[in-house]
Structure 1
Amino acid sequence: MKISDTRRRTSAAFLGASVLALSAFLSAPAHAAPAATCGVLAQGASATAQAAVNAACSQIGVWYSWGGGHGATPGASYGFYDGSDPDSLHDGERKGFDCSGLVRYAYAQATGKDLLNGTADDQFHSSQASARFSAAQGSAPLLPGDLMFWGKGHVHHVAIYLGGGQMVEAFESGTHIRVAPVRTGGDYAGAIRINGSGTPIPPPANGGTTFETWGTGVRTHRTPSVNGAVVDTFAGPTQVSVQCQQHAESVTAEGYTNDIWSKLADGSWLTNIYIKGPASLPGIPDCGGSSTPPPANGSKPFQTWGTGVRTHSEPNVNAGVVDYFAQPTTVNVVCQAHAQEVTADGYTNDAWSKLTNGSWMTNIYIKGEAWLPGVPTC
């Protein structure tokens, strides 16, 4: 009797333990599997690239935040609502990085220089690229530290290749910086390898300033006019050395209108529409000798403030983004209007300014009064 009771109690205890173990197994979270390794997962990368990988991996688990990482200096920062994704509504409370902010930080840590400030599209066209790889090449030729991009026509995402078919990325609002398998399908646009020396490419010896063009089949002309003789044709994005700029023939292309042309090192002219940057290139003198070209179309020049400031196709933060100012710049304001009320950086204002390229910017980010003096109503 005692032996039987003992067996019964032992069996009951074993059964109870088994049920608890099974229950724990069934309730274990799906992500309980070991996390993917973040680090340099292949050989051949430069010391700079390896350092960039390690810097990005040090941020695993940090929030994705739209606009994060685009402060005055590289590093995590609070983002803001992207205007469309509900998951982005709290990005202003999340200190972290968006995809290009993470890449900027990683290479700044690796080189000690802010080489990659700007959007993913800016980084794709960076003059710091020492090699480029097409989408058709996939990930086979890539080394750790290479930057992978997505977007057709306009690049919208970037990640850092680790090797072994893995990458580290700031993916989207509501998620954290993570390791993920590479994605070379869909709108994968290709990859670049950053200059392994970690030093900026020096400016041209002729005293010009290097800018990057965009678009395909872009022509330069003998005179600042589309009717001038064609000097050169750029099949894709190209580095150009700009000597000076001036107002000349007004051109409308790709949804933009601009009458400013840049004179290149070879003496040819290129409409500023196809040069990445604001309508009037910052720091470039007027070809007539003045330090700042006169504003176009009766507009008035103003200085912006803040970082990661966007202009929109309509006076509304939900309208399409036309331009992105990573740092303060000069804009030419044509007119202003009362439209959507915006609250940002401690200010509230419903005044918007229309710029010479037709885009709109909230007056919050234009230095001056809430309603700009001397600027007419649109």
Structure 2
Amino acid sequence: MAGGGSGPELAAAVSEAGGLGFLAAGYKTPEALYAEIRELRRRTGRPFGVNLFLPQPPVGPGKDASARIAVYAEQLAGEAEWYETELGDPELGTDDGYDGKLAVLLDDPVPVVSFTFGCPDPAVLERLAAVGTVTVVTVTSPSEARAAHRAGAAALCVQGVEAGGHLSVHQDDPRADASGAGLALLPLLAAVAEAVPLPLVAAGGIMRGGQIAAVLAAGASAAQLGTAFLVCPESGAHPLHKAALTSSLYTRTELTRAFTGRPARGLVNRFLREHGPYAPAAYPHLHHLTAPLRKAAAAAGDPQGMALWAGQGHRLARPLPAAELVALLTAELYDARAALPGPRPEPGGRA
């Protein structure tokens, strides 16, 4: 939940309640990450994780890529005029401060570090393991899982296409239609479990304890929930975003490149409908380009111009304090397990 949704307050609340809270490092400077880790440690002494974005390769031949981005900028000129702002600079960088963030995490290690948009070099995974950090690589296919296993990842986060926000493919194919990318969580989980002998964390559309029970039964060691926690009061998501997740005005989600240039699942709003069909594969260039538009739309109270990231189960979101939500999910998990044939599970486990 990069960009502010999962900050120190939410991550600490989840960890204090018995889950494993994660601090999103994407779109932050190394200095900001360092400060947020300090704040998170001030709030809790329990284990937590940090998620990093991998640096991105060039989007293609220079002139062609620049031309595609320039055309998209021209198509967004009306949006900039409407919101009375300027478009952002698409050339602000593609590495998301990766090396600086790694330096922070190696100098002051945290319990878990996960990676999105690729697999780190084996040397990076080795260095983190050497300082006591458990490494998790997000994968969307068996081939990505095998590559992460060879690189030395300690565990994998298996992300189904139902997940909100960015699809974490390691190589984004610019020829692919964003709307048809990816496998659903349960078949993907089964395929990855057969491909590699690593602990698996299931992610994508999980909103209830019964779904956690289902992925555990399917071979996962744990479940990762994002959209379910976006509506919590501790979440840093914009109030308009939180309201939209459970509003009857938004009934569908789609994968789109409209906001960032990379497939990401969000609520279908005006911006997504109008600009998604022709947005080029150019991440994070389009993220930088549209950032002022999204900020201006939020300031104007207009969710139709915002990136409303959401998983397919968004209408099941419950606006509870994070600790209450963890407790409820845990109770639902044990109820679901108790309903199955066999011995009744003992309470007191972790969500």
| Structure with the bigger percentage of helix | 2
Q: TM exceeds 0.5?
A: no
* Structure with greater contact order relative to length (CA < 8 Å, sep ≥ 6): 2
TM-score class, shorter-chain normalisation, is under 0.3
More strand by share: 1
